[in-house]
């Protein structure tokens, strides 16, 4: 499994986690390059269908991260995301996706180190779980 | 067909050291729809921006991706460059290959590959960007200043003098803040109150300033130029209009033995009190926790003797609503108290005090009228030990930062002590002396050389009592760490400066961010030091980080200038990254089915009901409509909508799905 390079997509909010990841950069902390960030205005904007789309398209793991509870730039978007995550999590088993493949977290603009740690932990976890192939066989059937 | 331009920046060597920028630009040129792809050393420089402008004109580009630093850094720069070349600025996106790639990964093929993945993702997005027009909103030209310390006072006066209205909110009964408690100020040793109180009076008399003392911000809604605030004016238990401030009630109040906050616990005050004689407003307030009437239902002495019948025992908190265009947060700092230093006996021994308490002892208006007498027995201390860095620069205490003001005020304290007790022996325990500032180093030198203050480079391990003396244990690190003990009569700890207790709750009310120590975060540590990441909210003074008076005043004037700039415009231009409800031709008119689940999800009450009628006025359907003035573009409604009828400009379904597919190399645009 040593040559397995997981593909991890991070859905983050603009105000906390995106800025936190910027801080990781300005502090020159190193982390695993397998993660790529997609910027959203708020975790409240994240439609969890996107997570399924990402899995169906070849993602091995996903990070969703935004502002800590009560710190949302838009006051309540992260609570909506959390509620959505709770429901979505219970659906994952049914969908055949290991819940450990999705990491839901809060990283503030001041937590550059936490972001690096989160990415490294997630990358390690996904490396242990191996590639997510379950949906690959559906390709071409018009299902994805 | 899209004609996208990709501009890859080296950022000097910040990107090119770990990412093969040539390869990225070359690979990007092969992405379908990319008409132009180049790399350059500094894209943000003038020649770099000129390259973009020229390419837009010459290659007739329909979109631009700048692969460089974070969009939080330079997105406005590049969008402006695009606009100058006639391309709608919202057709420009940044691929963050510095903070999210080159700086966080080692030089390797994987890093270059990731940089390209990011570029490809943003190319896929920008192809689906739409030209957007900015939204114009009016500006309410009234500023709210939170905190009436020296920073808040300065900001209020500057804004008011530039011709705009100011509402100043102070939570304590009087403005003045920490500065009003100080005895004398470094490096000039002029009396703090003598320079502060005229400013306080100016605030009270200024026609443009409305002062709400003993008040706090209850809530805030809205956005830059258009905030709506609710201020809780706490019940003073008297009618401020009738009260003349004669002070009779304060003299006659029978419960007089309450620890005075203003004297940092060293003095006493009655239950109805004015914090200090020069208070603004000079009107008393009843401390309901300690007042005999509120405790037992009897007394009402102040009510009986008040010549103007101003006492109102039944007064309730009042909520004041106001429209505000900008906010200056100047809520200041606090110092560490309590059981933070068990090893120093702070809180256990009466004669181990903090810097603020020493200020009160040295102040002519203090509990000892400026004579240095120790709290336990009122004796003049013969030996005083000052401990700098008490808690600061100490990761073990959870405070890694330097509190900045302590070196200077400790030198001042030692000097003041020596000026008042000529034969006294002051010692200062320090780690390093940080005296950066005009005339600061000279001031510390004066304390050492002219006033004979003994500086010992040592941290203090323990302070304990022995035979009526306080034994201070340390080790002189400049003499081979020789252990040493000093028997002191009084110990003054320069305790760490920390954020105010309610800093976090206030930040949540204002939607501003704060650092790990709850100090408010500026938008950029160097270039935007007085702005927050929330537009229209500015910072002044020690709420951002520990600061001395000149720095607080300078920052306050800076924040005031920012407010004045904002108020110099009659309308503001806002980014149009807002939600919109689908509208289409009849017979459907809109895919919205009118379930209005989006309505309660909106934190800004921006979703309204719209009735669609035919030409006879017959109602066809009721659908949701987003008020563009109120929408802030969080997109919560977008993710929530069951029929996908709301979309958000700039982060549309089409855009984000294309991003996911492109990132995973599964989109139709993959190479």
CATH number at residue B594: 3.30.70.3270
Pick from A34, A41, A50: which is nearest to B577 by CB?
A41
Cα three-residue angle A12-B125-B671, rounded to 5 degrees: 110
> Maximum Cα–Cα distance for chain B, whole Å?
99
Task: Give the distance from residue A138's alpha carbon to the nearest chain B alpha carbon, in angstroms.
Answer: 14
Chain A residues with CB-CB distance to B514 below 8 A: 110
Please check whether residues B447 and B358 belong to one and the same domain: yes
Separation CA B476–CA B462 (nearest Å): 14
> Which pLDDT value is given to residue B340?
84
Rounded Cα distance, B147 and B217, in Å: 10
Per-residue pLDDT tens over the stretch B133-174: 988 888 999 999 999 999 999 999 999 999 999 999 999 999
Kindly list the structural domains of chain A, giving each domain's residue range(s) and its CATH number in brackets, ordered by start: 8-137 (3.40.50)
CA A75/CA B223 separation, integer angstroms? 13
Subunit contact A58:B634, Cβ cutoff 8 A: no
Q: Is the pLDDT of residue B472 over 60?
A: yes
Query: Which of B551, B571, B591 marks a domain boundary?
Result: B571
**Structure ipTM:** 0.94
Q: Which has the closest alpha carbon to B342: B263, B397, B406, B404?
A: B397
The DSSP element (H or E) to which B319 belongs, if any, is strand B318-324
Per the structure, the complete domain to which residue B446 belongs is given by 334-498
First-residue to last-residue Cα distance in chain A: 26
B625 touching A (Cβ < 8 Å): no
pLDDT computed for residue B666 by the predictor: 67
> Which of B554, B571, B588 is the endpoint of a domain?
B571
Could you count the other beta carbons within 10 Å of the beta carbon of residue B488? 24
Q: How confident is the model at residue A76 (pLDDT cuts 50, 70, 90)?
A: confident
B224 shares a domain with B278: no
DSSP, res B545: S
Which residues on B lie below 8 Å from A41 (Cβ)? 577, 633-635, 648, 650-651
Q: Is the peptide bond before B187 cis (omega within 30 degrees of 0)?
A: yes
Question: Does residue B669 sit within a domain?
Answer: no
Domain boundary among B101, B134, B167: B134
Q: Please report whether residue B463 resides in a domain.
A: yes
Specify whether B9 is located in the same domain as B114: yes
Is B660 within a domain? no
Strands of B16-120, DSSP E:
34-40, 63-68, 92-96
Query: Domain check: are B12 and B96 in the same one?
Result: yes
Task: Residue B462: name the closest of B443, B484, B490, B438 by CA.
Answer: B484
Mean pLDDT of B286-314: 95
Tell me which DSSP letter residue B134 carries.
P
Q: Are strands B571-574 and B285-286 parallel, antiparallel or unpaired?
A: unpaired
**Among residues 30-69 of chain A, which lie with CB inside 8 Å of chain B?**
30-31, 33-34, 36-42, 44-48, 50, 53-54, 57-59
The contacts of residue A79 (CB under 8 Å, 6+ apart) are: A44, A69, A72
The pLDDT value recorded for residue A144 is: 45
pLDDT tens digits along B566-617: 999 988 888 899 999 999 998 889 999 999 999 999 888 889 999 999 889 9
Size of chain A, expressed as the number of residues it contains: 144
Place of tokens 């009592």: B465
d(CA B12, CA B10): 5
Say which residues have a Cβ less than 8 Å from residue B296's Cβ, sequence separation at least 6.
Answer: none
Chain A residue nearest residue B646, CA to CA: A45
* Helices B46-59 and B71-84, axial angle in degrees (round to 10): 50
The whole-number pLDDT of residue A101 equals 95
Q: Are residues B23 and B107 in the same domain?
A: yes
pLDDT at B670: 44
Report, as an integer, the average pLDDT of A81-107.
94
pLDDT of A123-137, one tens digit each? 999 999 999 988 776
Same domain membership, residue B508 and residue B484: no
Task: Choose from B217-226, B230-239, B335-344 the range with maximum mean pLDDT.
Answer: B230-239
| Cβ <8 Å between B661 and A53 | yes
Let me know whether B454 and B557 are in one domain: no
User: What pLDDT sits at residue B32?
Assistant: 93
Q: Over the stretch B410-445, which tens digit does the pLDDT of each residue have?
A: 999 999 999 999 999 999 999 999 999 999 999 999
In a domain, B24, yes or no: yes
For the stretch A4-56, pLDDT in tens is: 889 999 999 999 999 999 999 999 999 999 999 999 999 999 999 999 999 98
Burial B225-243 (b: 16+ CB within 10 A, else e): bbbebebbbbbbbbeeeeb
B516 in contact with A, Cβ within 8 Å = yes
| pLDDT value, residue B533 | 79
Residues B326, B445, single domain; the answer is no
Q: B630 versus B267: which is more confidently predicted?
A: B267
Nearest CA to B121 out of B590, B663, B622 is that of: B663
Same domain, residue pair B344 and B481: yes
Predicted pLDDT at B671: 39
Nearest chain A residue to B633 by CA: give it.
Answer: A41
- B119–A contact, CB cutoff 8 A: no
Asked whether residue B365 falls in the same domain as residue B290, the answer is: no
**Residue A139's pLDDT is what?**
65
Using CB atoms within 10 A of its CB, is residue B125 exposed (0-12), middle (13-18) or buried (19+)? buried
Q: Which of A131-135, B76-80, B302-306 has the lowest mean pLDDT?
A: A131-135
**The domain spanning residue B200 has which CATH number?**
3.50.50.60
- On the question of pLDDT at B60 being above 80, the answer is yes
What mean pLDDT is reported for chain A? 90
Task: Please tell me whether the peptide bond between A94 and the residue prior to it is cis, using omega within 30 degrees of 0.
Answer: no
**pLDDT over threshold 70, residue A140:** no
Q: Is residue B665 part of a domain?
A: no
The pLDDT score that the predictor gives to residue A1 is 46
Round to whole Å and give the CA distance between B493 and B356: 9
CA distance B671 to B30: 7
Residue B521 with chain A: CB contacts under 8 Å: 109-110
Q: What is the C-alpha to C-alpha distance for residues B147 and B168, in angstroms, rounded to an integer?
A: 7
Positive/negative CA dihedral, B348, B350, B352, B356: positive
Mean pLDDT of B4-21: 95
Return all residues near A28 (Cβ < 8 A) that are at least 6 apart: B103, B104
Min Cα separation B660/chain A (Å): 6
Q: Is residue B277 part of a domain?
A: yes
Percent of chain B with pLDDT over 70: 99
β-bridge partners, B231? B217, B320
Inside any domain, residue B655: no
Split into its structural domains, chain B has a count of 5
Contact (CB<8Å) A44/B71:
no
B310-313 long-range CB contacts below 8 Å, 24 or more apart?
Answer: B310/B238, B310/B239, B310/B240, B310/B242, B310/B243, B310/B244, B311/B237, B311/B238, B311/B239, B311/B249, B311/B286, B312/B235, B312/B237, B312/B238, B312/B239, B313/B237, B313/B286
Tell me the average pLDDT of chain B: 94
Cα separation, B572 vs A124, whole angstroms: 47
Residues B322 and B362 in one domain: no
- Among chain B residues, the shortest Cα distance to A69 is held by B508
List, as one string, the DSSP characters of A41-84.
S-GGG--THHHHHHHHTT-SEEEEEEPPTT--TTSSHHHHHHHH
Close Cβ partners of B670 (under 8 Å, ≥ 6 residues apart): B120, B662
Which pairs from B193-199 meet CB under 8 Å and 24+ separation?
Answer: B193/B278, B193/B363, B193/B365, B196/B150, B196/B153, B197/B278, B197/B280, B199/B150, B199/B153, B199/B154, B199/B157
Residue B663 lies in a domain: no
Range in A128-132, B25-29, B222-226 the model is least confident about: B222-226
Any residues with CB less than 8 A from the CB of B21 and at least 6 apart, and which? B8, B9, B10, B15, B39, B115
| pLDDT at position B1 over 90 | no
Same domain, B211 and B108: no
In the numeric block, which tokens belong to residue B618?
Answer: 């017959």
Tokens of residue B345, six digits? 């006996």
Residue A41 near residue B634 (C-beta atoms within 8 A): yes
Q: How far is CA B507 from CA B273, B420, B503, B519, in A?
A: 30, 43, 6, 10
Residue B523 scores a pLDDT above 60: yes
Residue B538, phi then psi, degrees to nearest 5: -120, 160
Peptide bond into B350 cis (omega under 30): no
Residues in chain A within 8 Å Cβ distance of B638: 45, 47
Tell me if chain A has a CB within 8 Å of the CB of B663. yes
Bridge partners for B623 per DSSP:
B610
pLDDT at residue number B230: 97
Q: Does the distance separating the beta carbons of A16 and B103 come in below 8 Å?
A: no
């Amino acid at each position: 499994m040593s040559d397995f390079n997981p593909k991890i997509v991070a859905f983050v909010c603009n105000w906390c986690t995106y800025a936190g990841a910027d801080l990781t950069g300005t502090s020159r902390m190193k982390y695993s390059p397998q993660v790529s960030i997609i910027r959203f205005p708020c975790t409240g904007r994240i439609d969890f269908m996107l997570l399924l789309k990402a899995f169906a398209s070849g993602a091995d793991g996903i990070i969703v991260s935004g502002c800590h509870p009560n710190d949302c730039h838009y006051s309540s978007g992260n609570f909506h995301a959390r509620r959505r995550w709770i429901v979505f999590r219970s659906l994952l088993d049914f969908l055949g996706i290991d819940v450990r493949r999705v990491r839901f977290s809060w990283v503030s603009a001041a937590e550059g180190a936490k972001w690096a740690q989160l990415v490294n932990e997630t990358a390690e976890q996904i490396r242990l779980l191996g590639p997510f192939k379950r949906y690959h066989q559906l390709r071409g059937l018009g299902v994805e | 067909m899209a004609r996208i331009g990709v501009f890859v920046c080296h950022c000097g060597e910040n990107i090119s050291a770990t990412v093969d920028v040539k390869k990225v630009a070359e690979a990007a040129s092969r992405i379908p729809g990319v008409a132009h792809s180049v790399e350059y050393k500094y894209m943000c420089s003038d020649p770099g921006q000129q390259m973009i402008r020229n390419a837009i004109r010459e290659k007739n580009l329909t979109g631009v991706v700048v692969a460089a630093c974070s969009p939080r850094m330079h997105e406005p720069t590049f969008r402006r460059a695009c606009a100058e070349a006639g391309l709608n600025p919202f057709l420009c996106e940044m691929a963050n290959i510095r903070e999210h790639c080159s700086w966080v990964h080692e030089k390797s093929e994987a890093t270059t590959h990731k940089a390209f993945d990011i570029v490809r993702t943003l190319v896929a997005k920008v192809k689906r960007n739409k030209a957007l027009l900015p939204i114009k909103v009016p500006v309410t030209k009234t500023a709210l200043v939170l905190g009436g310390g020296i920073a808040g006072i300065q900001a209020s006066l500057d804004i008011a003098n530039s011709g705009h209205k100011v509402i100043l909110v102070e939570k304590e009964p009087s403005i003045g803040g920490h500065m009003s408690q100080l005895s004398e100020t470094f490096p000039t040793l002029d009396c703090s109150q003598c320079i502060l109180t005229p400013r306080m009076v100016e605030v009270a008399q200024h026609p443009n300033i409305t002062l709400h003392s003993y008040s706090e911000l209850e809530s805030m809604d809205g956005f830059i130029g258009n905030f709506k605030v609710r201020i809780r004016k706490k019940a003073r238990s008297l009618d401020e209009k009738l009260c003349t401030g004669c002070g009779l009630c304060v003299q006659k109040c029978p419960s007089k033995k309450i620890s005075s906050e203003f004297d940092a616990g060293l003095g006493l005050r009655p239950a109805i009190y004015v914090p200090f004689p020069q208070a603004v407003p000079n009107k008393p307030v009843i401390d309901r926790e300690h007042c005999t009437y509120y405790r037992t239902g009897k007394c009402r002495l102040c009510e009986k003797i008040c010549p103007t019948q101003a006492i109102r025992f039944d007064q309730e908190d009042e909520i004041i609503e106001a429209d505000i265009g900008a906010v200056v947060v100047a809520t200041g700092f606090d110092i560490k108290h309590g059981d933070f230093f068990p090893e120093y006996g702070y809180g256990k021994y009466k004669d181990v005090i903090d810097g603020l308490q020493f200020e009160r002892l040295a102040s002519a208006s203090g509990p000892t009228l400026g004579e240095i007498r120790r709290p336990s027995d009122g004796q003049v201390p013969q030996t005083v030990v000052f401990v700098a860095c008490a808690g600061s620069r100490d990761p073990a205490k959870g405070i890694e930062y330097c509190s900045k003001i302590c070196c200077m005020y400790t030198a001042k304290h030692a000097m003041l002590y020596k000026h008042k007790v000529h034969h006294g022996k002051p010692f200062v325990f320090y780690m390093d002396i940080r005296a950066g500032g005009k005339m600061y180093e000279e001031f510390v030198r004066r304390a050492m050389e002219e006033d004979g203050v003994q500086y010992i480079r040592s941290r203090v391990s323990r302070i304990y009592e022995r035979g009526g003396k306080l034994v201070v244990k340390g080790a002189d690190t400049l003499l081979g760490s020789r252990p040493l003990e000093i028997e002191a009569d009084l110990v003054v700890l320069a305790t760490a400066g920390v954020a105010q207790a309610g800093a976090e709750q206030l930040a949540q009310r204002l939607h501003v961010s704060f650092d790990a120590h709850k100090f408010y975060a500026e938008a950029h540590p160097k270039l935007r030091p007085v702005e927050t990441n929330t537009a229209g909210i500015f910072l002044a003074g020690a709420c951002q980080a520990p600061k001395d008076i000149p720095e607080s005043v300078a920052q306050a004037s800076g924040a005031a200038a920012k407010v004045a700039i904002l108020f110099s415009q009659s309308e503001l231009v806002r980014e149009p990254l807002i939600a919109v409800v689908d509208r289409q031709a009849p017979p459907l008119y809109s895919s919205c089915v009118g379930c209005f689940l989006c309505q309660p999800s909106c934190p800004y009450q921006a979703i309204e009901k719209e009735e669609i009628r035919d030409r006879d006025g017959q109602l066809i359907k009721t659908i949701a409509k987003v008020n563009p003035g109120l929408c802030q573009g969080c997109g919560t409604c977008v993710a929530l909508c069951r029929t996908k009828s709301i979309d958000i400009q700039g982060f549309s379904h089409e855009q984000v799905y294309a991003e996911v597919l492109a990132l995973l190399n599964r989109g139709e645009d993959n190479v």
